[in-house]
Amino acid sequence: MIFSMIYGIMKKYRHIAQQFENCMYIYQYNILEVFDMKNRILKSIAAALALCTAMLAFTACSGSGDTSGTAEGTGEATVDTTEAEPAAKIGFIYNGTVDGKSFTADINTQRIMAQQYSNIESEYIENVSVTDFAKAVKMLVEDGCTHIVSGSPVFAHSMNPVSQQYMNINFIDYGSSMRSVNIYAYTEAVYQGAYVAGMVAAFNSDSEKIGMVVDPSMLYTVQVVDAAALGTQIVYSTAQLVTATAHADSEIDKAVDALAAQGCEVIISYTASGETVDYCGKKGIKVIGNLDYTADSADHDTMLMYYYSSRDSFYLSQYKAMQLDTWQPESYMGTLGNGVICISDALPAAKDGTQDIMNTLVPKVSTGAAYIFAGQLEDINGSIKQRDDAMMATSEILNLSWYVKGVDNSLDSFIESKDTVESVELVIKK
């Protein structure tokens, strides 16, 4: 009853509701662990009441139904405040800041949730450049961390050589398929969401030119761009996907303006922030976001839909395994099929009929009935890269290094390339 009332209220706030569901998952998991204890039912009720009282802080407390644990003459249960020694200490490395709305902030929220609901301790270092990744790992290991989580795909190429220096430390490598004896490789089929985004963008454009703002530091850039281009070609067989790079949020306005000048009526975002959506909203340009929190910008009345990754269940399962000392290095790919890649419904700015074609396409992509990289594929120079009777293997998709026919990357070099984060003093925070 209490959980139902609380959840009914929280449904009005999408992000909080999601976190509540994740917490309930972990909480139920914990109940199973103490199921054989004498006072398990009363203990669960006391913890549930504490959870409801502090749901925004996500803090759980345990009470006892045994009369020996009550205050004399009151009948009120006392709270056991004894803290067990943390089962694991996890260090997080971020290339951005935990403040505001960003990819880093999203990962950090999951860190906080894990620490509050699992018997683990965590700390993090933010604003880490690629060149400082090894230094950050060394600092966290020396501070007692037994597990290191890469909080950005920009570190994917740095993870393997650094992890070999610490074979007694376990690593979660976000954005890489390179598993080793101490690395859990986690990848995402973001290109599935980009494929749908490309189709929606073309359907909502009267022009065969679709724009895409791309942060080249994002690891899946090539396959995401290629999939988006193939998606546009569902609507226009001769569609062009014009890309413009933005190495930092401060460059996104330049990229959007350049795409608009090329005649792009709709722009797809593939960046680590919601700045593309925000700027397109200010300019009155139709846009598709690539992050969950870009939904907050829907009031611009220009966003058509958004695609994003929901990593909560994956990360929380990893932290639970660390707590139980059952963690094993494996490989995992988040997809539309397993719920990691998510696609919103069409938003009010989209043309009539957008949702109908999404309802047809999304289930097919999710089940593999619509295989994105199938049939003959040519690169931007007209060279045949795949035969018409072939289907590209997942490993090949993840390692794509060429753009498909229909991609126009002539704008990619107009902004000077630079490291996304300048080298700064590294500080461990909790």
Tell me which amino acid residue 246 is: A
Indicate the range of 133-137, 150-154, 240-244, 386-390 predicted with least confidence: 150-154
Amino acid 120: pLDDT: 82
Alpha-carbon Rg for the chain in angstroms: 24
Is residue 274 predicted with pLDDT exceeding 80? yes
Is residue 375 predicted with pLDDT exceeding 70? yes
Is residue 308 predicted with pLDDT exceeding 80? yes
Amino acid 156: pLDDT: 79
Please, which contacts does 323-328 make with residues 24 or more away whose CB atoms are closer than 8 Å? 323/87, 323/88, 323/118, 323/119, 323/120, 324/87, 325/87, 325/88, 327/147, 327/170, 327/184, 328/184
pLDDT tens per residue, range 127-164: 999 899 999 999 999 999 999 999 887 787 888 899 99
Q: Residue 421 CB: number of other CB atoms within 10 A?
A: 21
- Please, which pLDDT band fits residue 54 given cuts at 50, 70 and 90? very low
Amino acid 295: pLDDT: 66
Does 162 or 56 have the greater pLDDT score? 162
Average pLDDT over residues 283-290: 96
Integer CA distances (angstroms), 325 to 183, 234, 301, 331, 364, in order: 15, 48, 48, 18, 38
Is residue 175 predicted with pLDDT exceeding 90? no
Average pLDDT over residues 32-41: 34
Amino acid 76: pLDDT: 41
The residue written with tokens 């963008």 in the block is 201
Separation between Cα atoms, residue 319 and residue 306, nearest integer Å: 28
Is residue 241 predicted with pLDDT exceeding 70? yes
The dihedral sign for the CA sequence 41, 43, 44, 50: positive
| CATH 3.40.50.2300 is the classification of domain 190-309+340-408 | yes
Tell me which amino acid residue 220 is: Y
Separation between Cα atoms, residue 50 and residue 62, nearest integer Å: 8
Separation between Cα atoms, residue 348 and residue 80, nearest integer Å: 51
Amino acid 88: pLDDT: 83
Q: Where are the domains of the chain?
A: 1-64, 190-309+340-408
Amino acid 64: pLDDT: 38
**How many CA atoms lie less than 13 Å away from 328 in the CB half-sphere?**
4
Does 415 or 382 have the greater pLDDT score? 382
- Please, which pLDDT band fits residue 378 given cuts at 50, 70 and 90? very high
Q: Residue 338 CB: number of other CB atoms within 10 A?
A: 13
Is residue 255 predicted with pLDDT exceeding 90? yes
Angle made by CA atoms 94, 422, 311, in degrees to the nearest 5:
20
Separation between Cα atoms, residue 56 and residue 305, nearest integer Å: 28
Helix extents (H) in 118-251 = 133-142, 156-163, 190-203, 221-235
Integer CA distances (angstroms), 393 to 12, 57, 399, in order: 41, 44, 10
Q: How far is CA 104 from the centre of its chain?
A: 9
Tell me which amino acid residue 13 is: Y
Q: Residue 425 CB: number of other CB atoms within 10 A?
A: 6
Percentages (nearest 5) of helix, strand, coil residues in the chain: 40, 20, 40
The dihedral sign for the CA sequence 17, 19, 280, 192: negative
Indicate the range of 53-62, 111-120, 192-201, 302-311 predicted with least confidence: 53-62
Average pLDDT over residues 372-389: 96
- Please, which pLDDT band fits residue 18 given cuts at 50, 70 and 90? very low
Tallying the residues shown for the chain, one arrives at 430
Is residue 300 predicted with pLDDT exceeding 80? no
Is residue 273 predicted with pLDDT exceeding 90? no
Residue 296, token pair as written in the block:
């907050």
The residue written with tokens 């999408």 in the block is 14
- Please, which pLDDT band fits residue 397 given cuts at 50, 70 and 90? very high
What percent of the chain clears pLDDT 90, i.e. is strictly above it? 50
- Please, which pLDDT band fits residue 294 given cuts at 50, 70 and 90? low
Is residue 9 predicted with pLDDT exceeding 90? no
Average pLDDT over residues 268-283: 92
Does 267 or 32 have the greater pLDDT score? 267
Amino acid 66: pLDDT: 40
Among 120, 129, 94, CA closest to 108: 94
Amino acid 147: pLDDT: 93
Helix extents (H) in 262-353 = 275-283, 312-324
- Please, which pLDDT band fits residue 8 given cuts at 50, 70 and 90? very low
Separation between Cα atoms, residue 65 and residue 41, nearest integer Å: 8
Average pLDDT over residues 105-126: 83
Average pLDDT over residues 358-387: 96
If you average pLDDT over every residue of the chain, what do you get? 79
Tell me which amino acid residue 422 is: E
